[in-house]
Amino acid sequence: MRAVKLRSFGEPDVLTCEEVVVPPVGWGEVLVKIACCGVCHLDLILRSGLRSRVALPRVLGHELAGEVVSVGAGVDAFAAGDRVTVFNFQACLECEDCLRGHPSLCRFSKGDIGQTRDGGYAEYAVLLASNLVKIPQGLAMEAACFAACVYGPPYKAILQVGNLQAGQTVVITGASGGLGLAAIQIVNALGGRSIAVTSSAAKAELLKSKGASDVIVSEDGAFGDDVRRLTDGRGVDLVVELVGSPTFAGTLRSLAPGGRCALIGELHGKPVSINLGLLIIKEFRIEGVQSASRDEVREILDFMKKHDLTPEIWRRLTLEEAALAHLQLQAREAIGRVLLIP
């Protein structure tokens, strides 16, 4: 089979496609023929070597969907022909955190697809059955592959942290990325109003065309007063914070009393200052949101099907073009997601 093997860390050109043997299928494992695999910003970090967990050589790619070819011993939940996608991390499913329904907090994780196990930049992948989720009939693989990583965090932010009700308003920072566009779709599906914040004036029109009710262009993160103007001075019920420290002051300023901030992204890793008195008086809630678990991915797939949510696909590229995909993502040219089609 063809696979993009990362053999050394570095610039995008370390990604080259080669002919390799299809790995054997062991106990509890499933051989999947990859139909498509999204290229994630995390992949850029992994390729550059900034995360030490990746042992080389490695096949990147955790946003995959495909068809089961064969199953190993001990697998009875899947059979050849099943359409499947994955959730990103291999929680142990046995520890205290896993058992109380927080597998994303598992400290005994056996590693992540595309990090400690070969992923989807290939024609085939051997995956643990415990990482697979069946795709509901009628939902395209090109949508399903993004359930965990792209729709997962905004879904958890908007439904779990935000408990969004029809008519409520949500601010989405960093709205023109894949997660931001997914967040806009989810808010719309629930009958909410979305205020998209972007640092790029060039992307404002696009955000409108993708369903944002209002768009604020803010280069300095000081958009709180604009949000208040758009909400008759009240502020919003929920902020989906995809940028983190650069926009956090604007986020706090945007919240209505009792408002919630679901924190998904932190791009700069810088500390922020918070007036704790404000948190008390306004009863704000700030919650971190991690990847979706298996049960959540099932829920999200059903939600995507029910509301006909399809991700914005910017480019479809071949495995041979994996390096090009990384270059384009790195240059921040992409609006929406890049897919590799083996």
Q: Which residues bind Zn ion (CB under 5 A)?
A: 40, 63, 91-92, 95, 98, 106, 108, 149
239, 173 contact by CB (below 8 A):
yes
Q: How far is the CB of 97 from Zn ion (least distance, A)?
A: 5
Q: List phi, psi (to 5°) of 40.
A: -105, 150
Q: How far is the CB of 35 from Zn ion (least distance, A)?
A: 17
Cβ-based nearer residue to Zn ion, 279 or 341:
341
Q: How far is the CB of 107 from Zn ion (least distance, A)?
A: 7
Cβ-based nearer residue to Zn ion, 153 or 246:
153
40, 27 contact by CB (below 8 A):
no
Residue type, 334: A
Cβ-based nearer residue to Zn ion, 106 or 256:
106
CB atoms within 10 A of CB 63: 31
Q: How far is the CB of 44 from Zn ion (least distance, A)?
A: 10
R_g of the chain computed on alpha carbons: 20
Q: How far is the CB of 43 from Zn ion (least distance, A)?
A: 7
Cβ-based nearer residue to Zn ion, 91 or 157:
91
For residues 91 and 234, give the distance between their C-alpha atoms in angstroms, rounded to a whole number. Answer: 41
List CB contacts of 181: < 8 A, sequence separation 6 or more.
Answer: 175, 210, 311, 312, 336
Query: Per-residue DSSP letters for 84-118?
Result: EEE-SB---SSSHHHHTT-GGG-SS---BBTTTB-
Residue type, 178: G
Q: How far is the CB of 173 from Zn ion (least distance, A)?
A: 19
Cβ-based nearer residue to Zn ion, 115 or 169:
115
Cβ-based nearer residue to Zn ion, 130 or 160:
130
Cβ-based nearer residue to Zn ion, 28 or 234:
28
Q: How far is the CB of 100 from Zn ion (least distance, A)?
A: 10
Cβ-based nearer residue to Zn ion, 78 or 151:
151
- Residue with nearest beta carbon to Zn ion: 40
Terminus-to-terminus CA distance in the chain, angstroms?
A: 10
Q: How far is the CB of 40 from Zn ion (least distance, A)?
A: 3
Q: Which residue has the tokens 């059903």?
A: 302
Q: Which token pair is 135?
A: 């795709």
Q: Which of 86, 137, 129 is nearest to 296 (CA)?
A: 86
5, 313 contact by CB (below 8 A):
no
The sign of the CA dihedral 119, 265, 284, 197 is: negative
49 burial level (CB within 10 Å; 0-12, 13-18, 19+): middle
